[in-house]
Amino acid sequence: GAGVSQSPSNKVTEKGKDVELRCDPISGHTALYWYRQSLGQGLEFLIYFQGNSAPDKSGLPSDRFSAERTGGSVSTLTIQRTQQEDSAVYLCASSPQGSDRGLPRHFGDGTRLSIL
């Protein structure tokens, strides 16, 4: 079946612009995660959604970052007034209900964000 889908695959934008990154999780998966991977670094947790519970936003690096998950499915990560340090690959992952909480099992291919 279809895996986790992210769009766009690449995004180049000017400093100061807003960007929206989209994630389509695997159908039926209740848990959705956003991670950020900078060049040569590990994965940095950003935000976690589980069903109808309040999301865990503890990893968002600043108030320029926000995320929504509509209808328990698609999620959008928004970065306002982008800065060069926001350049990274943004990875989305999902897990089915009953999975260990906090465990991203299926990753998307990511969105490579480049801020000029």
Could you say which of 11, 21, 24, 50 contacts other proteins (CB under 8 A)? Answer: 50
Which is closer to other proteins, CB of 25 or CB of 104? 104
Is there a contact between 25 and 4 (Cβ–Cβ < 8 Å)? yes
Task: Specify which residues 112 forms β-bridges with.
Answer: 10, 89
CA distance 30 to 17: 31
Nearest approach in angstroms of CB 28 to other proteins is 18
Nearest approach in angstroms of CB 35 to other proteins is 8
| Helix, strand, or coil (residue 99) | coil
The interface with other proteins within residues 9-38 (CB under 8 A) comprises 33
Phi, psi for residue 71 in degrees, rounded to 5: 60, 25
Residues 6+ apart with CB under 8 A from 55: 47, 48, 49, 67, 69
Q: Where are the alpha helices (DSSP H) in the chain?
A: none
Size of the site for other proteins (CB under 8 A): 24
Nearest approach in angstroms of CB 18 to other proteins is 25
The interface with other proteins within residues 52-111 (CB under 8 A) comprises 56, 58-59, 91, 100-105, 107-110
Binding region for other proteins (CB under 8 A): 4, 33, 40-45, 48, 50, 56, 58-59, 91, 100-105, 107-110
